[in-house]
Amino acid sequence: MANISTLTAETFDSVVSNDAPVLVDFWAPWCGPCRALSPIVDELADELEGRMVVAKCNVDDNQELAMKFGVMSIPTLVLFKDGEEIFRSVGALPKAKLKADLEARL
């Protein structure tokens, strides 16, 4: 099983500046679509292990990060490469669509 980091303001920059692309899942525990998407993100973390890193950021606990990256709706997935955003998805997507979108950018 892939290791999924939990991001905070203190750890965000060090995780996102990873050599591998980093997918950040901005979510909240009260968000139904977030709970629906979470197992898909977990599966993709396993399936794409070695090609990307996956991290989760609870927007309730890290509002400053949500504001910094313009996260207005959740779930929002942001793929970073070399610390720069290269892909963003808002809302719950089917696994096949999300995987294809990510693989096209890895």
For residue 66, the domain's CATH number is 3.40.30.10
Q: Which helix (DSSP H) or strand (DSSP E) does residue 80 occupy?
A: strand 76-81
Grouping H, G, I as helix, E, B as strand and the rest as coil, residue 57 is strand
Residue span of the structural domain in which 87 resides: 4-101
Total domains, the chain: 1
Helix intervals (H) in 1-106? 12-16, 32-47, 63-68, 95-103
Which tokens is 79 given?
A: 């793929």
pLDDT more than 70, % of the chain: 100
Catalytic residues: 31, 34
Query: Is 24 among the domain residues?
Result: yes
Query: Is 106 among the domain residues?
Result: no
**Per residue in 30-39, pLDDT tens?**
999 999 999 9
Q: How much is the pTM?
A: 0.95
Grouping H, G, I as helix, E, B as strand and the rest as coil, residue 39 is helix
How many CB atoms within 10 Å of residue 84?
Answer: 8
